[in-house]
Structure 1
Amino acid sequence: MAASRFDTRWRVISASVAGPNHTSLGIENQDNLRQGPVGDGLHLLAVADGAGSQPRSAHGSRLSVEAAWEAADRTFVKAPRTLDQWHETTRRYATACLTQFDELVERAITPLRNRPTATGVTSVSRSEFATTLLAIVADPPWFAYVCVGDGFLVMERSPGGSRLVIPPPSGRQAANETVFMTSPGRDRDLRCGLIVDTGARGLALCTDGLIDGMLDVGRGPDGIGLLCAPEDFDAYFAAFRTPGVDGSELSRKLQSREFAASSGDDKTMLMAVLR
C-alpha cells in the first residue's frame, strides 16, 4: 500500500514489552500493536491489551488490532473532507471495528470448537479472547478514535504541551472491571469520537500497564483526583523526535527498573511525533 500523507510529516516509534509478572512465569506478552497507511491516504495507530486472566488473550489482542486495521481500510476508502463527514465516518468505523473483531474471533474459534481431546471435548468461548482496543485513524488535523477498555491517549500540542485527551475510565479502573472487546456490555461502553487540532504535534497511545508509570493524579475543581499527563511527558515526545533515537530506546525505557516497579503488567506505547 502507498504511503499515507501522515508518513511524510510524522515519525512513528513503538515498543511493547512483557511485564515482570509475565516474565517471571514465562508467559508471552499479551499486548499487540499495529500501525501503517490505510484507506485513502490515512494512517492507523492501534494498541490492544489482552486480559491476563484469559487463555487466548494474546491471540485476542492480535485480532483486535487486525480488526482495527481491516475496518479502517474499508471505512476510510474515501477520506472524509468536512466535519460532518468525519463524524459520520468515525461512527461507522467504530461499528466496523466491533463487527470485524467478532468475525475474526468466530473464524478463530470455528476450527477449535468441539475438537476431541484425550480428556474429552474442547469447548472454546469468545471470552477467552478478551482484549481492549485503542485505535486512531489520523489525517492531521483530524484524528478519529475508537476505544474499548482502559487504554489511554496523550497528545502533545503547540502551544499547550502534553495533555491526557483519552483517559482510562476511572470508575471501572477503580473497581477493576475493565470492559473488553468480548464483554457483553461492550457496545454500551464503547467510546468513539473525533479530535480536530491544528496544533497537534505528538501522539502516545498506551495500554493500561503504563497508567502508573506514565500518568500523575491531579485534582479537579471539586477536589476529586483525576489522572493527567505530567509536565515531563513533553520530554518523551522531544526525545523521540530526535533522529537516531528509535524504538529500541523506548523498549529499554519500558523495561527499566523504574517502570517494572510501577506495574507488573505488559507495557505498550505507540508514539507518533511531528518531524
Structure 2
Amino acid sequence: MNTPKQISQWRIVAASVCGTSHIKNQQLCQDAHHWQILPNDVLVIAAADGAGSASLGKVGAMIAVETAIEHISDCENIPSILAEDGLLHDLLTESILAAKKAVEDEADVCKHQPDDLASTLIIAIATPKVVAVAQIGDGLAVAKDSTGNLQALTIPNHGEYINETTFLTSSDALTTTQIKILRHNIVNIGVLTDGLQMLALNMLIGEPHKPFFFPLFDFVANAEDKIVAKEQLVKFLCSDKITKRTDDDLTLVIASLSN
C-alpha cells in the first residue's frame, strides 16, 4: 500500500492592534494586514502602516494590502515567475504600482489628495524554496531557513530623522523600494510594522533579534486552533512587555512551514 506523501503547509497567525497612544487619543488603529495561501504552497503577505499625519491613513493602508494581495493572486503562471528572479522582481514592482494606483484612485473618488491616504507597504511572497519581499517605508520582514539562520530581508527605511519614512504615495516611493529575493529552504517568515521594530531588530547592525522571533515561530508551528492562536497573539501585543516599550499601532504576521 502506498503511503501518501506528507504535504508541507503554511501556518499563519496575524494581528493588528491599536497602540496605547491611539487608544488614549480615541483614534483608530492605522495599521492593516492581509495574507493568502495560493496553490503550491505560495504564501502572500502584505502589511501597511497608515501615516499618523494622514487623515485617511487607515483607508490607504487597507487598500494597499488588499490590492497587493489581489494583484499577485490574480497573476497567471506563478510557478514560472517564482523560478526567475527577474520575473519575481517585476511581479513585486507591479504589485506596488497596482496598490499605489488603487490608493490614488480612492483619493480621487473621496476628493482628497493621495497624501491623505499615505501608508507604508511590505509585500512578501514565500514558498518552501524562495522568499521575495518588497518594502516601502519602515517596518521589517525576516526569514528563517532550515539551518536556523535568521535574516532580515528588509530594514526600516528612515529619512533624516527616526520618525521620518517614505510612503506609498511619496514621489520617491519606487526609487526607494527595497526588494530582496532569497532562495533557500525557508521554514519561517515574519512581517511587522514599525511599532515593533525597536523590539525585533538591532537597529545598529540591522540584525533581527532571535529572542523575539524564535518563540513566536515555535508558537505558530504548534498552533492548532487559528482563532485561539490569534487571540493569544493579540494578548501578547497588548501585554505590558510590549506596551511599556512602544505606544504605536502594532502589526505582526508570523508564518511557519509545517510537514
TM-score above 0.5: yes
Matched letter for residue 109 of structure 1: A
Structure 1 position 61 matched with structure 2 position 61: yes
For residues 1-44 of structure 1, what are the alpha-carbon distances to aligned partners after superposition, in whole Å with 9 as ceiling and x for unaligned?
A: xxxxxx95110111111001101111111111111134776321
Q: Distance in 2 between matches of 1:175 and 1:262?
A: 16
Q: Is the 8 A contact 2:126 2:132 kept in 1?
A: yes
Q: 1:129 to 1:38 in 2, by over 3 A?
A: farther
- Of 215, 229, 243, the residue aligned with 2:223 is 243
Q: Does the residue aligned with 1:189 lie in a helix, a strand or coil?
A: coil
Query: Aligned residue for 1:230?
Result: 209
| Aligned counterparts, 1:101-112, within 5 A | 101-112=99-110
Residues in 2 aligned to 1:173 and 1:268: alpha-carbon distance in whole angstroms: 24
Q: Deviations over 1:193-246 (max 9, x none)?
A: 311111x211110000001222235xxxxxxx2232223131221122113461
How many percent identity over aligned positions?
Answer: 25
2:29 and 2:160 map into 1 onto residues whose CA distance is 21
Q: In the alignment, is the contact (CA less than 8 A) between 1:40 and 1:78 conserved in 2? A: no
| Structure 2 unmatched ranges of 5 or more | 1-6
Aligned positions of 1:232-271 closer than 5 A: 232=211, 233-244=213-224, 246-271=229-254
Output the amino acid matched with 2:247.
G
Bigger shift: residues 62-71 or 94-103: 94-103
Q: Is the 8 Å Cα contact of residues 145 and 192 (structure 1) preserved in structure 2?
A: yes
Cα gap change, 1:39/1:95 in structure 2, threshold over 3 Å: closer, same or farther? farther
Match of 2:178 among 191, 195, 198: 191
Higher gyration radius (CA): 1
Aligned to 1:78: 77
**231 and 107 in structure 1: CA distance in 2 versus 1, 3 angstrom threshold:** closer
CA distance in 1, matches of 2:208, 2:183: 19
Normalised by the length of structure 2, the TM-score is 0.87
Asked if the contact 1:87–1:193 (Cα under 8 Å) also holds between the matched residues in 2, the reply is: no
Which among 82, 86, 89 is matched to residue 88 of structure 1? 86
Give the alignment's TM-score, normalised by structure 1.
0.82
Q: Is 1:181 equivalent to 2:161 in the alignment?
A: no
Checking the alignment, whether the CA contact within 8 Å between 1:134 and 1:148 is kept in structure 2 is yes
Alpha-carbon shift at residue 82 of structure 1 (Å): 7.6
CA distance in 1, matches of 2:136, 2:181: 15
State yes or no: 1:140 paired with 2:128. yes
Residue ranges of structure 1 left out of the alignment (5+ in a row): 1-6, 114-123, 218-224
SS of 2:175 mapped into structure 1:
helix
Cα distance, 1:175–1:112 mapped onto 2, change above 3 Å: same
Report the residue type matching 1:260 in the other structure: T
* SS, match of residue 262 in structure 1: coil
